[in-house]
DNA sequence: CAATTAATTGATAAAAACTCTCACATTATA
DNA sequence: TATAATGTGAGAGTTTTTATCAATTAATTG
C-alpha cells in the first residue's frame, strides 16, 4: 500500500505533478477498493469520509490526471457513469470483464487471452494495437438457473 | 432496403408496436448509414432533413425501442455519446471494432473471432455468455508512421 | 526572507446527453 | 361513432461531467 502510494508519487513527479493531500486521499481510496469498479461519485463519497473538505471537481481532476498517466483506467459498463480501476503494474493490457446481466456483478479475467487474436488483427488489418477492451455479457455462476429467458436480458445494453 | 423495412415492421408488430412514420424515418436513416456508428443527435439531424417535424425525444424513444428488441445495438466508444448500429441479421454476436487513436476511424471485424475464448469463459468461469464486446484501440493502417509515441495516445480513453 | 510566479483547490455555474411529463394527435377496439 | 390505447412534440428536469474563477498553497527568484 505505502509502496504503491510512493510509486504513484514518483509517477506524478516524473511528469511534474505533485501528490497533494487531496490526490493522495483519492489514490488511497482507489487502492483500498482495488477490486471494485468505482464511479467518480463513489470515489468522492469515500474520500469525503476521510477528507471532508475535498471538492467533487478535485476528484474528477485527479481521476482524469491518473487516467492521463495510465495509472488508472476508465471503464464504461453501460450504466451511464464512468468507472475507474487501477491498472495492474505488470499488465501490458487491460483485463477482461464478465458482466452478469441478472445481478450486475462484474468479475474479471486477469489473464490476457487475446494474444492470438491480436496477432491476427495486426497482420490481417495492419492495425497496431495499443490496448483492448473485452467484455462478456451473460449469466454468472451465481445466477445460473434463476433466469428463464436469458436472451431477453441483452436488449438495450450499451458498451 | 424495402425488405429490411418490412422485416423490421414485422418485428415491431410481433411485439405489438407500430411502425409509425417517425419510426420508419428513423429506421431508414439507420439503414442508409449502416456502416457508420451514429449518435442519437446524428440520427436526429439526418431524420430532420426528411421529416422536419420529428422531435428529439421521439428519436431517442425509437432508438431505445429498437435497442430493446435487439434490432440495433448501442455502442460506447468513450466519446461521451451512445452510438447505434444495425445488428446484422445473421450474426449471433456483436462484431469487433478497431478504433484508431490517431484519426478516430472505426473499422470492423465482421467475423466472430472469439469462439475459442468464449468456450474457455463458459467452462473456466461457469459463465453463460449472451453477448460480448471487443474493441481494439491503436493505430490504423492509414495513420501508420504518423505517430511518434503511440503509447501516449491511450491515456484517458474510456470503454 | 519577501516578493513574485505557478500550481492546485473548492464552490458553483454551465454544458452535454439523456429522460420525463403532459397535452394533444393518431390509431385501434368495441 | 364512442372509447380506450398508443404514440408524439415541446420543453422542463435530471444526471454526469466540465469550465470558470477567486482563493489557497507551493515553488522560484532575488
Ligand atoms: Zn449474476
Ligand atoms: Zn476490472
Ligand atoms: Zn487512423
Ligand atoms: Zn460496428
Measured CA to CA, the distance from residue B97 to residue B110 in angstroms comes to 9
Tell whether A142 and A86 lie within a shared domain.
no
Q: Using the CB atom, is residue B56 less than 7 Å from strand D?
A: yes
Residues A1-8, mean pLDDT to the nearest whole number: 94
Same domain, A58 and A122: no
- Interface probe, candidates A65, A100, A133, chain B, greatest B C-beta count within 10 A: A133
- On whether the CB atoms of residues A48 and A54 are closer than 8 A, the answer is yes
**Closest chain B residue to A118 measured between Cα atoms?**
B136
Q: Give the confidence band of A48 by pLDDT, cuts at 50, 70, 90.
A: very high
Q: What is the pLDDT averaged over residues A66-84?
A: 93
Helix axes of B21-32 and B40-50: crossing angle, nearest 10 degrees: 110
Q: Are residues B113 and B77 in the same domain?
A: no
Asked whether residue B31 falls in the same domain as residue B109, the answer is no
Whether residue B60 is found in the same domain as residue B3: yes
- CATH code assigned at A107: 3.30.1490.190
- Residues of chain A with pLDDT > 90, as a percent, come to 77
Residues A105 and A78 in one domain: no
CATH number at residue B54: 1.10.10.10
What per-residue confidence (pLDDT) applies to A83?
95
Q: For the range A141-144, what are the long-range contacts, defined as Cβ-Cβ under 8 Å and sequence gap of 24 or more?
A: A141/B125, A141/B126, A141/B127, A142/A100, A142/A103, A142/A105, A143/A100, A143/A102, A143/A103, A144/B126, A144/B128
What per-residue confidence (pLDDT) applies to B117? Answer: 95
Name the band, by pLDDT with cuts 50, 70 and 90, for residue A75: very high
Question: Number of structural domains, chain A?
Answer: 2
Q: CB of B47 under 7 A from strand D?
A: no
pTM of the predicted protein model:
0.90
pLDDT tens-place string over residues A102-138: 988 999 998 889 999 999 999 999 999 999 999 999 9
Q: Which residue has the higher pLDDT, B93 or A4?
A: A4
The answer on A95 and A32 residing in a single domain is no
Domain of residue B52: give its range: 1-90
A91 band by pLDDT with thresholds 50, 70 and 90: low
From A7's Cα to the closest Cα of chain B, the distance in A is: 18
**pLDDT at A89 (0 to 100):** 67
Instruction: Please check whether residues B58 and B100 belong to one and the same domain.
Output: no
Q: At residue A155, does pLDDT exceed 80?
A: no
pLDDT under 50 in chain B at which residues? none
Of B44, B60, B90, which residue is a domain's last?
Answer: B90
pLDDT at A90 exceeding the cut of 70: no
Residue B157 to residue A75: CA distance in whole angstroms:
9
- Whether B118 and B150 map to the same domain: the answer is yes
Mean pLDDT of A132-159: 84
Q: Are residues A15 and A62 in the same domain?
A: yes
Report pLDDT for A159.
62
Please say which residue of B54, B69, B90 terminates a domain.
Answer: B90
C-beta atoms of B128 and A114 within 8 A: no
Residue with CA nearest to C8's C1' atom: A20
Mean pLDDT value across chain A? 91
pLDDT of residue A88: 73
User: A31-45, A69-83, A87-101: lowest mean pLDDT where?
Assistant: A87-101
Residues of A in contact with B133 (CB under 8 A): 133-135, 137, 159
The pLDDT score that the predictor gives to residue A81 is 94
Asked whether residue A111 falls in the same domain as residue A41, the answer is: no
Question: Are residue B76 and residue B103 in the same domain, yes or no?
Answer: no
**End-of-domain residue from the set A35, A62, A90:** A90
Residue A107 near chain B (CB below 8 Å): yes
Amino acid at each position: 500500500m505505502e509502496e504503491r502510494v510512493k510509486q504513484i508519487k514518483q509517477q506524478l513527479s516524473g511528469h511534474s505533478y505533485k501528490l497533494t493531500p487531496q490526490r493522495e486521499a483519492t489514490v488511497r481510496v482507489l487502492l483500498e477498493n482495488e477490486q471494485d469498479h468505482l464511479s467518480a461519485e463513489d470515489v468522492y463519497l469515500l474520500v469525503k469520509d476521510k477528507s471532508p473538505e475535498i471538492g467533487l471537481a478535485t476528484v474528477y481532476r485527479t481521476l482524469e490526471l491518473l487516467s492521463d498517466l495510465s495509472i488508472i483506467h476508465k471503464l464504461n459498463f453501460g450504466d451511464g457513469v464512468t468507472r475507474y480501476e487501477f491498472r495492474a503494474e505488470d499488465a501490458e493490457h487491460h483485463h477482461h470483464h464478465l458482466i452478469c446481466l441478472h445481478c450486475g456483478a462484474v468479475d474479471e479475467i486477469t489473464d490476457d487471452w487475446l494474444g492470438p487474436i491480436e496477432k491476427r488483427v495486426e497482420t490481417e488489418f495492419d492495425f497496431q494495437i495499443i490496448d483492448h477492451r473485452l467484455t462478456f455479457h451473460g449469466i454468472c455462476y451465481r445466477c445460473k438457473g434463476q433466469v428463464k429467458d436469458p436472451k431477453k436480458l441483452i436488449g438495450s445494453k450499451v458498451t
